[in-house]
Amino acid sequence: MSLVERIAQADERGLAASGLACLDRCLPLLGADDELLRPLWASLADGSDWGASLEKARGALGAEGPDEEEAALLVRRMLQAAPAERTAGAVRPWADACSVAALRVHRLLDPAVDGMPDTDGLDAGRAGDMADLPPLVAAELRRQTAVLDLLAEHGPHGLRRALDLSIEGRRVLRAVVSRRARSESC
């Protein structure tokens, strides 16, 4: 089953976790505290107020900087676009948009993209054809699929593992950003 099909079939908790996980993995681009989204994860587990936790995270993140690169803007927009109401109808389009944005972020940062054709392959990858995806993008696609599978199979008990996958992805992206900064300063 493709990622697009998984998103179409996911319940409200799976969708919210999917979008949140995409956002969480991309936080290093904003220099945000790793704990910024922890209250949102907790609200998925305990049913506390998603909207209040969302507003708190938005407030802590602050406003867009004038010199933010495209990847950072995509991440910031993921948080700004998150719906205050956590219903399947509200979070499904957000989760889908977060999926696309996170894959674009990973494509923008993937060093293997240099010299690749301009067609980005993200739609094909989300539809199940990962053949032409660069490694960083393919890994992000696998994480997105795993998060949705965990929630579909284990319900709220899959949240801890979904968070662990996000932390792992955040570490990978942080290393890529660090490597990129070092190479640009040389």
- For 37-64, write each residue's pLDDT tens digit: 999 999 999 999 999 999 999 999 878 8
60-90 residues labelled b (16+ CB within 10 A) or e (exposed): ebeeeeeeeeebbbbbbebbeebbeebeeeb
Share of residues in the chain with pLDDT > 70 (%): 96
Our CA angle for 71, 75, 81, nearest 5°, is 135
**CA distances from residue 26 to 73, 88, 128, 137 in whole angstroms, order as listed:** 11, 23, 22, 12
> What is the chain's percent helix, strand, coil content, to nearest 5?
75, 0, 25
Confidence at 86, pLDDT banded by 50, 70, 90: very high
User: How many whole angstroms separate alpha carbon 54 and alpha carbon 48?
Assistant: 11
- For 119-172, write each residue's pLDDT tens digit: 568 999 999 999 889 999 999 999 999 999 999 999 999 999 999 999 999 999
User: How many whole angstroms separate alpha carbon 123 and alpha carbon 99?
Assistant: 11
Domain regions of the chain by residue span:
3-185
3-state secondary structure of 94: helix
Provide the whole-model pTM. Answer: 0.93
User: Is the per-residue pLDDT at 181 higher than 60?
Assistant: yes
